[in-house]
Structure 1
Amino acid sequence: KVSIIVDEVRDESKKEQMAIIFFDIQNIRGQGYDGASNMHGGFNGLQALILNDCRYAYYVHCFPHRLQLVLVAAAREVVEVHQFFKDLSNIVNITSVFSKRHDELQKAQVAEITRLYPSMS
């Protein structure tokens, strides 16, 4: 039997990137999901199906998801935590805009130099 991992994430340019990995299911040594019952259900979920084929694939609730739940709860209750994440979000938004503009400026400069000096391209 073969298992498939499919994961997606946005890269720096905000484009969706997807990775697909195939591997032998007997080599699985752990499982982690975001808490959806159809995934981690001990009797009928994906966790149970994988454990039927590979007894060493122990289930652990996804730690990054747990961390996110804790941080969201803290941001609701503690003003300083809320302000920290608000400031952090603003910093990320501002720096990503500046890097995009810098990339656009560089592309425009290369295009202009190529236009002015065709022999250099």
Structure 2
Amino acid sequence: MSKMKLTKTRLQGAVWEGLLWADDAEPVVEVMYMQRPIKDVQLQSTQTAGEYALRISLPHQMMSDGVHTALITDGAAGNILERITVMAGDALAEDIRAEMDLLRAELDLLKQAFRRHCVETQ
């Protein structure tokens, strides 16, 4: 049984990229979204032994309102290596990160108003 480790390097333009370390000479990686395999998966060895660059073009259906998850698994053992989660649209309305961003923006407005008030009352 081989050991595999996957680390995300970036997500840009609907393309997920990561580095995979594997004991096997040729690891097998599967990516599933909505119980269907994602076909556009590229796995290339790097100059470092046992290291591979993984590139996944995410399907356009993932770029829509809601929360969407794709699973990257070890094709031989079936272990989950990583989850790709995309959240967009109305699903973010209740998300705590969106709430924190809104609170920060409101706090900035309050700071500006307070500073303006202090300058005007001197």
Structure 1 length normalisation: TM-score?
0.33
Q: Which has the higher helix share?
A: 1
Compare CA radii of gyration and give the structure with the larger one. 1
Structure 2 length normalisation: TM-score?
0.32
